[in-house]
Amino acid sequence: MDAERPAAPASDRPAAPGPLRRLRARAASWRVPVALRMAAVVAAVTSAAMALLAAVVVQGQQRVLEAQTARLGGALAAQLALAAREPLLAGDVLALEVLAAGSGARAPVLGAAIYGPDGRRLAGRGEDPFLAGGAPAPAPAAAPPSFRWRTPAGDAATVFVAPVRHRDLLAGHAVVTLSRAPLERAVGDAVRTVLAAVAIVLALALAASLVAGRRLSAPILRLLDASRALGEGRRPERLPERRNDELGSLMAAFNEMADGLIRKRQVEEVFSRFVSPSVAREILGRVDRVELGGRRVVASVLFADIVDFTGLAESLPPESVAALLNEYLALAPRAAAAFGGTVDKFIGDCAMVVFGVPEPDPDHAFHAVAAGVLFLRLVEARSRARAARGEPTVRFRVAVNTGPMLAGTLGSRERMEYTVVGDTVNLAARLSGVGEPGAIVLSEETWSEPGVRARVRAIRGRPIRVRGKRRPVATYTVTGLRPEGEALLAEARRALRPEAE
């Protein structure tokens, strides 16, 4: 609240503003709630109220008409039963025929019939549900006092059954069938009348809420378009914040949120270039509780090492070496991603790829081998293209090992790295140096996996001695994939982007 100022002399005091100017100034300082602009709610409430009222009115009238029909049909059936009592006891079939003909000739009666105590029809005229289509039906004694029925012609009807009694003796049954057409016409007229009234009220309510609805929907639509653009990864246009109501505050908050999301997405995109997307998602998903340590897992690790890289590096300038490395090593993430693998790191001229972490994969051993085969085929295709241009090419040795390892965040609190460590990883790294150029060497643990044996062809290699191992290590060299493995590889290769080739 502003501090009060001393009153100015009468001669220096400005002229008092008019009532309209004061009202405008006060209105400009008010915050108009969004609730006051929800005039469209009136139309919705009116619609619901009118619909409820219409349902109540129509159902009430239908119940009244049903009750009238029931009273009429019950009275006609009882009257026929009373009139047929003496002819039934006397066995006067002609009198029964006259009664049935007289009862069935009056609208809205569709038919009348009289049945004996044994369920046999003695007289009748018009529609009879117990003889519909000429086929005998159960005796009327088993029927309820009234029930709905459709004639063979498809007309709706209500059937009334009244017993014919003389003292304690059941002499038979009287059956009267009434058409429901008058009732349905009356209900239809009531529905049309109520709907017309509802339509008029709705038209008035919609017309009244149209202006307010347009003013309210315009900023909401802009907010929706901005949200959609943000969800699609595009930077939305900045929303105006000049509104002096809740929508203005919402737009300001949305602008701040959009700026924060854009910055977060940029950080994630840059971060995913330094680590694999799956690792980036795991780390960013627990950014508030990133700690050193890991978990013991059983997974597969693949090493791809360039053959004679030292000699190649000596013969080329550093820029050419870097370009060559980037071109070939870029194939590793694509081959790995085709089979759910994660590039752990690039170590000079070597790529290290893990399968089964951080996302579990029960078939990680085969996927590692298949990714190795795909990687070598991509390397061959890239080398043919480079050779056709007269550029130097390289060859790779690939090794795969399967077993227990520790996966997690290692390093120090100042510098962390998500990786896998263990004897399984060390053995895979050493196996990558024993194979022939362009070959894939598997360990005994990888080859013994059922998913590998069923889809991979390999020959047993000579055992090799590895530093730190007491016994020689058995190795296997991949010679190809079996038909099932080739089918999976072809499907994965078709899914690669064209530039991966």
Range 162-172 average pLDDT = 87
Is 70 exceeded by the pLDDT of residue 118? Answer: yes
Look up residue 442 and give its amino acid.
L
Q: What residue has token string 């795909």?
A: 374
SS (H, E, C) 255-311: HHHHHHHHHHHHHHHHHHHHCCHHHHHHHHHCHHHCCCEEEEEEEEEEEEEECCHHH
pLDDT tier at 169 (50, 70, 90 boundaries)?
Answer: confident
Burial of 63 (0-12, 13-18, 19+ CB in 10 A): exposed
Model confidence at 237: pLDDT above 50: yes
The C-alpha atoms of residue 360 and residue 112 are separated, in whole angstroms, by 78
Each residue of 206-244: b (16+ CB within 10 Å) or e? eeebeebbeebeebeebbeebeeebeeeeebeebeeebe
More confident residue, 136 or 45: 45
What pLDDT is recorded for position 192? 85
Task: Note the pLDDT of residue 68.
Answer: 85
Quote the tokens at residue 55.
Answer: 């349902």
Q: What percent of the chain has pLDDT over 70?
A: 78
Ranges 97-101, 264-268, 338-342, most confident? 338-342
pLDDT tens across 297-311, in order?
Answer: 999 999 999 998 888
Give the β-pairing of 440-443 and 156-166. Answer: unpaired
Q: Span 225-235, mean pLDDT?
A: 73
Which of 378-392, 427-441, 462-476 has the lowest average pLDDT? 462-476
**Residue 84, pLDDT score:** 87
Q: Are 202 and 46 in contact (CB under 8 A)?
A: yes
8-state DSSP, 464: B
Distance of CA 459 to the CA centre of its chain: 48
Domain residue spans in the chain? 33-237, 288-500
Residue 436 has pLDDT above 80, yes or no: yes
3-state secondary structure string across 357-411: CCCCCCCHHHHHHHHHHHHHHHHHHHHHHHHHCCCCCCCEEEEEEEEEEEEEEEE
Q: Looking up tokens 């910055």, which residue turns up?
A: 263
Position 129 pLDDT exceeds 90: no
As a whole number, mean pLDDT of residues 293-297 equals 81
Q: What is the pLDDT of residues 31-84, one digit of tens each?
A: 545 445 566 677 778 778 888 888 888 888 788 888 888 888 888 888 888 888
Confidence check: pLDDT of 5 > 50: no
State the pLDDT confidence band at 119, using cuts at 50, 70 and 90: confident
CA distance to 279, 325, 336, per residue, from 347 (Å): 18, 11, 16
| pLDDT at res. 20 | 65
For domain 288-500, the CATH superfamily is Nucleotide cyclase, GGDEF domain (3.30.70.1230)
Question: With contact defined as beta carbons under 8 Å apart, do 172 and 84 qualify?
Answer: yes
At 103 the pLDDT is: 79
Rounded to a whole number of angstroms, the distance between the first and last alpha carbons of the chain is 72
Q: Tell me the pTM.
A: 0.50
Does 238 have pLDDT greater than 50? yes
Q: Which residue has the higher pLDDT, 363 or 249?
A: 363
pLDDT band at 287 (very low <50, low <70, confident <90, very high): low
Query: Is the pLDDT score of 289 beyond 60?
Result: no
**2 pLDDT more than 60:** no
| Mean pLDDT (whole number) for 271-291 | 56
Can you give the C-alpha Rg of the chain in angstroms? 45
| Residue 213 clears pLDDT 80, i.e. is over it | no
Question: Which listed CATH number (3.30.450.20, 3.40.640.10, 3.40.50.1970, 3.60.15.10) goes with 33-237?
Answer: 3.30.450.20
How many CB atoms sit inside 10 A of residue 381's CB? 13
Residue 193 predicted with pLDDT over 60: yes
Tell me which H or E stretch contains 440.
strand 440-443
Give the pLDDT of residue 350: 94
203-207, 233-237, 387-391, 438-442: segment of lowest average pLDDT: 233-237
pLDDT tens for each residue of 102-111: 876 677 888 8
Amino acid identity of residue 59, one-letter, is Q
pLDDT value, residue 105: 66
pLDDT for res 341: 93
- What is the overall mean pLDDT for the chain? 81
Q: In the predicted model, is pLDDT for residue 499 greater than 60?
A: no
pLDDT digits (tens, 9 = 90+) for 76-104: 888 888 888 888 888 888 888 888 888 76
User: Is pLDDT above 60 for 496?
Assistant: yes
Lowest mean pLDDT among 44-53, 105-114, 212-221, 314-323: 212-221
Q: Where does the pLDDT of residue 22 fall: very low under 50, low under 70, confident under 90, or very high at 90 and above?
A: low
Per-residue confidence (pLDDT) for residue 481, from 0 to 100: 96
